[in-house]
Amino acid sequence: MMSPSIRKAMLVVHVTCSVAWIGAVAAFLVLAVQGVTREESEIVRAAYLGMNAIGLYVIVPLSMAALLTGLIQALGTPWGLLRHYWVVAKLGLTLLATLLLLLHQFIAVARAAAIASATPVGQPFDVGSLGSQLVFDAAAALVVLVGIVAISVFKPWGRTRAEANDPTSAAGQGRPFPIGKAAVIGLAVLAIAAVMHHLLGGHWHHRH
């Protein structure tokens, strides 16, 4: 177990990375909307190039840092990694969100940025269905990330069955959250749908 001071320091890093991740995705969503709603070619070009930069140098590192520090927090504190349903749900959703992010960045975003870079300045260009895909992915990621925050705050369902039967466990039970299971299932379905859209949808063949 980590000492109290180290635990608090890691918690600060984890919360900071998680909140910054949400903020970066929100900024990305704004740019994605600009890309499909504005008509000025240079503004649209800047939006797609900006999305690529934010994704590569802000969102991807923050997502990895949030996932890593979350694992450290779980393993180094009494909460544990598999002792509480809310921790398991949060980990699963974070892994799904990270997978969605990586597919999103290195397939759809990279493709849109490549089109923007290859088109001569001043010439109009069209990314096709990639524009709406970027909006959908960013919105889905934002919903999932906010859901993860809600799980962290409410800590629903208490301990897993094995942990609940352990009388030596010192971790808290968590508060009831009647709609929590349905909410997590909905968030997971949303994230999986976005992942499958990348793997089976119209953008995967652009990589080949």
Q: What is the pLDDT along the chain (208 residues), one digit of tens a residue?
A: 678 888 888 889 999 999 999 999 999 999 999 999 998 989 999 999 999 999 999 999 999 999 999 888 878 777 677 778 888 888 888 888 888 888 889 989 999 999 999 988 878 778 988 999 899 889 988 988 998 898 888 877 677 765 555 544 444 444 444 555 566 666 666 667 766 666 665 444 444 4
Cα-to-chain-centroid distance, residue 204:
20
pLDDT at residue 106, rounded to an integer: 92
Q: Cα separation of 193 and 29, whole Å?
A: 18
DSSP single-letter state for residue 200: H
Facing residues of 84 across strands? 159
Decide: 66 and 24 in contact? Cβ < 8 Å: no
pLDDT at residue 19, rounded to an integer: 94
Decide: 10 and 72 in contact? Cβ < 8 Å: yes
Buried b or exposed e, range 10-31, using 16+ CB within 10 angstroms: beebbeebbebbbebbebbbeb
Give which of 187, 170, 190 is closest to 179, Cα–Cα. 187
Tokens of 97: 């969100």
- Which pTM value belongs to this model? 0.79
Residue 122 main-chain phi, psi, to 5 deg: 90, -15
pLDDT at residue 207, rounded to an integer: 42
Q: Which tens digit of pLDDT belongs to each residue from 139-169?
A: 988 988 998 898 888 877 677 765 555 544 4
- All residues at 6 or more sequence positions from 86 whose CB lies less than 8 Å from its CB, including other chains: 151, 152, 154, 155, 156, 157, 174, 180
SS3 159: strand
Residue 201: which H helix or E strand, with range?
none
Crossing angle of helices 85-103 and 60-75, in 10° steps, is: 160
Q: Cα separation of 15 and 162, whole Å?
A: 28
Residue that has been written with the tokens 């180094």 in this structure = 76
